[in-house]
Chain A
Amino acid sequence: MATIQFRDIRKSFGDTDVLKGVGLDIADGEFLSLVGPSGCGKSTLLRILAGLESQTSGSVRIGGTPVDGLHAADRDLAMVFQSYALYPHLSVAENIAVPLTMRRLSNAQRLPLIGRALPGSRTTRAAIGTTVREAAEMLDIAHLLDRKPGQLSGGQRQRVALGRALVRDPSAFLLDEPLSNLDAKMRVHMRAEIAQLNRKLGATFVYVTHDQAEAMTMSDRIAVMMEGELLQVGTPDALYDHPEDIRVAQFIGSPAINILPVDTDASGTIRLCDMATGLRASGPPIEHLGVRPEAFVPCEEGELVVGRVRMIENLGSDLFVHLDAAGVPMPVTVRLPSSARGRIKVRDVMRLTATPARICGFDSAGKAAPVSAHDKAHDKAHDTAHDKVARHV
């Protein structure tokens, strides 16, 4: 059990800067996910923490002690790999036992044949066998202990890899995209199991993934990385509702957030396609508005967006409606409850609004900027202008 601290970690491969000064504190027992698109440096950060790669500058502390320059084996961490990385020549039981035999037995005791005859070897080996069995039972793979990895399914191999990690009771678990080789159903299942494991063991988990859904469902906190920088670290709720950067807003959530290009005039009024939106920038000028698909509400008047239905996706529980909206380059996605089924048809015109609290504003640099409701009620001119657009689309 340990805290983990990154201090200004930089890493360059030749001329390419993979990490550009990452600082991050992870609490004891926390489940932290590192998410970002591929090539953002998240795996490199994890490998630096593991000791498999060394940083160009900066320092890493585990449990308050600097571990820079310490070998991977001496950092008391366990890691689960995307490819599982099981030893193909060893049985499941032997695979899980490896971290224990490497640590509890001396060099001589590990020798084949002779090692077993040495004093103390038998009792230690028996103790290792018990621990391995306990770990296997916890992961429900006790019946597979004699098999070779080649005879197991993807999900079973994943459990063995987890078993090998947790058998040693390390201070932290590092998981590098452990679910991406599994099929969709298995992935959802293992997602729940890994989150439960974190609660049961109370150990620190650092989980690397490119899948925002995994990060959202499992984590205490998420760190979003892009192009070697940490964009935002926060709880899943905070990231979803209050993204600090337009790239975070776009990365988190499925279907993706709707980004509306807007202008802010000198008085702070935000205009979409030259029409007032009823919103004003209370800070720096706003260039984009972000609205989650479920934040939109159909309305009769005073709308933020108006558009023609292009496509309807019926998921049973929900309805995703895609609109071609005036002044918005990408189709606008709206999530409606299943009760709306049959009431909307393709080519219908829809008017949508959202409460200002659920609208995110972003300035020219893509950083979050405050948005508030316009003081005045919507004037007639605004409404008629919108009507014209509605007839147009």
Chain B
Amino acid sequence: MLSKIAKTGLTRRTFLRSTAAATAVGALPRASLAADKVIKIGFLAPLTGAVAAWGKPGLDGCEIWAERVNAAGGVKLADGNYMVEFVAYDNEYDPAKARTGATKLIREDGVSFIMMLGGDTWPGVQPVADKTGMLFSTLLPSDLSPDTTTLIAPTEVHPVYVVTGVEWLAENKPELKTAVMCAQDDALGLPSVATYLAAFEAAGIEMLDEPLLFDPATTDFAPVVTRLISGNPDIVCLDTCYSDYVHPIAEQLFQQGFKGQIISATADFYDQMIAKTSEEFMEGFIFNFPDFDDPALNSDQINFDDPNGFFAEYNEKFPGQWGAVSWEYASIMDLWKAAAEKAGSAEPDAVITAMKDGKGKHAFGDADWWGKDLFGIDNALVGDWPVVAIESGKATIKEFRNMPAWYDKHGDLLIKHMKAYDQMWDQRS
């Protein structure tokens, strides 16, 4: 980490000093706006532990979002303008801590909306959501069910978007005929396994083996990789493995001589993977989360404000920290702000009603509220999603593909595999 900072001309000490200064500067607008009305937004996600890479970078992105929105006058409701302040609670990806955090954010902090990563932590929070009627968001629509109408998945449609990468591969690299897959055995890994299986089946790509599940506590991935590549597959699929797993698995694939195609939901900090392997090895690595300096994000269909500027500011403030979720929670806030301003209120019921009125402005283009078949409720905002490839050491958007269009053709396969892995909303306990 520090070597990356050092490359930018900073030492650990100056980095800490500048971080402290940035924090102080960040606090200034809040202090100067103390007399203004404030809306508090809860950020309930893992900020420490193995899953922190899908929490902390999102909070960093939200701080940039808040600075921008507050500088532009805040959120404009019926009774005036409100400044936005984020209140974070580290749930450590633990359901019990997530429940405590949700209760604290609602009762003590008085937040108007709570953003979560979801997954294993959602069952802990669900009773709080049902009891209070608080509006929650998740990055994982597999948390959705008709039981909780105030849970929405407005940005990431995990794991449905992974079908786009497989579909793109099948069309652009038809010589790839066989695949294998590994995943951690948890609430993030299993629905993704089912979705990749459906996508491979739809694409006519044969699975050489059952998906290889590993314990989330695994540290040595050599045995996993040995097994994966023992049948000489054309494609190794890393499912939705956490970056703590994607990196050592990719390194093992490199060291054990794999020369085929790799596909993964994410490739956070892929520059470090390249450093551990080689640019040649990582060439063509397919995943689904772009860098926001990608020129393709400047097209008219994109609903994320100034993606290139956001990316530059993020990297300046948090060098080397950009990851899959850096923009996602900020994008959710765009939707929430638009809905709250439309409703003229931050009340959960009013916001969700306004949000679901017509098409939603998803970051990657206008999208529909969707999900009744898979999740029992149309609370996932689904439209286009990018297919990203690493080319010459840089993430590059290859194409945007439409998820509902894939589902219209292959939805039965997805439901079949989801049911086989007990991942349909009515199968989850």
Partners in one complex: no
Residues of A within 8 A of B (CB): none
| Chain B residues proximal to chain A, CB less than 8 Å | none
